Copies of this chain bind each other. A is one copy, B any other.
């Protein structure tokens, strides 16, 4: 049985665990060293470190201080890994902690984080999903039950000082274009809530002052929220610092493409069984900028989809130029409108798109001025028939179950 290199205790604050950190910085000390070829277990908190509870109130979603996220386990040093190498990571398996067989999905208030459809769902809402073996269902979203595509939302190696500086510079420049926007355009370093792992003293202070926030995906991977980076997949990460410094967290039991609900997929605490190896000088040899990966041979075989199209004309009818973001938003809104005909509330439909193994495809990006995006809804996840017919639609969902909502204070 493989060693568990990092353990988490869900009854204690993630800040007390010194094998955890919540910023990206080259000076965060390695907490363990392994050899190429080793396999081992890493436990992780959920991305909020336990702030969101298994209950029927969305107050925690409304009130969270988002500067605390994400609590990552690591960094792990791999002996012999040098800048320019590729770190090969096999996600041999990923799962929930036995003492915590549930996950959450929610929408942040537009005043505190927002989300993809925050103009349509501006208030904090939450749904809780129970995990039963390979399947999940929710007491807040009736009529769906599906097999999860379990994956880490966030995984990557430590940046070197130059890469970190690049990140901070370009994001600061973006924020400067509209510094008072709500929600903010990006998140700058923020020392008060930084968790620098085993760093102490000046190093700790430096990490707090300079450490990149963990929200966006970047060149090293990081918070990619790619649902297909799932257990069984093999990932090739660029190495920037000696030893690599692999950290991970933000486990999802299941997520739709785009993680449109932002808070988030089906978020859970859990564990990863991983194996590491090195391809020397792989970055230059293969021309790698961002991580590449090979998906798992074991994934839900959903095959029956109902597919919604969206184009880059926004809700107000304004024409945008090849904007895939807007096109995908329209496809999502189209799907939500459709599901409402079967009795779902808009919030429940939105939750389904955020949690189920929905696909989002970039279908056309050249036919000026409209981009076309498609949202693929697996029909087998429903307890009832959701295909169109001459006789339908039938209101299978009666509306007596609703998702918790918490008005802004």
Contact = CB atoms under 8 A, between A and B. Distances in A.
B170 A319 contact: yes
Interface string A84-95: 001010111100
Contacts of A369: 171, 174, 185-186, 216
21 contacts: A92-B132, A147-B232, A147-B298, A170-B317, A217-B370, A218-B313, A225-B363, A225-B364, A226-B307, A226-B372, A236-B388, A258-B366, A287-B338, A292-B306, A292-B334, A323-B323, A324-B362, A325-B365, A325-B371, A328-B365, A385-B385
Contacts of A116: 365-366
A385 to B, nearest CB: 8
Contact of A259 (B236, B290, B365): B365
Interface in A276-319: 279-280, 282, 285-311, 313, 317-319
A363 B257 contact: yes
A323 B321 CA distance: 12
A219 interface: yes
Given A217-B311, A223-B364, A224-B363, A134 B231 contact: yes
Contacts of A186: 319, 321, 368-369
10 tightest A-B CB contacts, nearest first: A92-B133, A93-B133, A360-B362, A324-B324, A216-B370, A287-B337, A170-B319, A225-B364, A262-B366, A186-B369
A160 interface: no
A224 B338 contact: no
B290 A307 contact: no
A135 B390 CA distance: 21
Q: How large is the interface on A (under 10, 10 to 19, 20 to 34, 35 or more residues)?
A: 35 or more
A223 B371 contact: no
Residue of A231, A261, A293 contacting most chain B CB atoms (<10 Å): A293
Contacts of A166: 317
Given A133-B231, A258-B363, A286-B393, A292 B309 contact: yes
A373 interface: yes
Residue of A216, A226, A232, A393 contacting most chain B CB atoms (<10 Å): A216
A159 interface: no
Contact of A286 (B286, B338, B364): B338
B298 A259 contact: no
Contacts of A98: 1
A119 interface: no
A74 interface: no
Nearest to A183: B368
Interface in A341-375: 341, 359-374
A286 B293 CA distance: 34
A338 B288 contact: yes
A308 to B, nearest CB: 6
A134 B324 contact: no
A145 to B, nearest CB: 10
A388 to B, nearest CB: 5
Interface string A192-211: 00000000000000000000
Contacts of A228: 307, 361, 363, 374
A222 to B, nearest CB: 9
A46 interface: no
A392 B261 CA distance: 38
A59 interface: no
Interface in A367-408: 367-374, 376, 380, 385, 387-390, 392-393
A146 B92 CA distance: 11
Contact of A260 (B91, B223, B366): B366
Nearest to A340: B287
A29 interface: no
